[in-house]
Amino acid sequence: MSMQTLNTSRLDAVVTEGTGHGFARIRLSDGHAITLKMQPGAPAAEEVFLSPGLTAPDTEAWENEDSWEDWLTGGTLGNESGMFLDVPTEALRDLIVQHGGEHDDQEGEEPAPRAEAVTAAQAAPDPLSEITELHGAFEHGYGADDIRNVFGRICDAGGPYLVCVWDIADEYGFGGNSEFYAEDEEGWLFELKPDIYRWLTGQQDAPGPLETWVGAYVPELVEFAATDDRHNYARTER
């Protein structure tokens, strides 16, 4: 099969429609997956997560540069999490084609090669099993960079889109007291079960089933003075 005829219709749809505040997953025919966040019609994806074992090409398009991360942290973001920033659409398409195109079944629970029979042993794991390493991630505190990395991992694993609302944002970044919430695709915020905070800070061993994480709608939280569009908000800006 020629590379030109390989299916990339899922990518085309994501590029056209965007992903809102969440992420979209593209299953590849060889057993891997790409999860990305982008705005409608944008020339590049804001964030791209590669499934374990899927290696990014050694090209400029995958250099993972991000001026906001550099400004906030004084360094560059590492690639241990499998996350890349500002990846051009055509670079994504090339990677998909290199791995045999898109899988015929985009709704499946786990990336798998075409025509492969999924046995019970191959069934998709509980999403929580993919983020167990986040237990205690905030044990020694957290900043906006930690929020982006950890909350991004949770969303990529199939969890809700979480955000942190800080007191202030200034030239040094986000700071002050903070609270965690869940955000839907319309931008509405919802209460988050306290167990999530206790799990991330190492105070309890597990956060509970994903379906129990999100609570009541919080109508008073509708406008913020600042945001990085990647999990952080501030009530006031200086």
- Provide the greatest CA pair distance for the chain: 57
Which of the 8 DSSP states describes residue 110?
A: S
Is the pTM value of this prediction over 0.75? no
Residues (pLDDT < 70) of the chain are 1-5, 65-82, 108-126
The alpha carbon of 220 is separated from its chain's Cα centroid by a whole number of angstroms, namely 26
Q: Which phi and psi (to 5°) does residue 162 adopt? A: -100, 150
Helix then strand then coil, in percent of the chain rounded to 5, is 25, 25, 45
Domain boundaries defined on the chain: 3-121, 128-237
User: Which pLDDT belongs to residue 2?
Assistant: 37
Q: Which tokens is 27 given?
A: 């299953």
Instruction: Kindly report the length of the chain.
Output: 238
User: Which pLDDT belongs to residue 82?
Assistant: 64
User: Which pLDDT belongs to residue 125?
Assistant: 52
Q: How far apart are CA 2 and CA 95, in angstroms?
A: 15
Long-range contacts of 13-16 (CB under 8 A, 24+ apart): 14/38, 15/40, 15/41, 15/42, 15/89, 16/40, 16/41
Specify the 3-state DSSP secondary structure of 134.
helix
User: Which pLDDT belongs to residue 70?
Assistant: 40
* Tens digit of each residue's pLDDT (9 = 90 or more) over 71-121: 343 443 333 446 788 999 999 999 999 888 898 877 765 544 333 523 333
What pairs with residue 84 in β-bridges? 48
* Tens digit of each residue's pLDDT (9 = 90 or more) over 221-234: 778 999 998 899 99
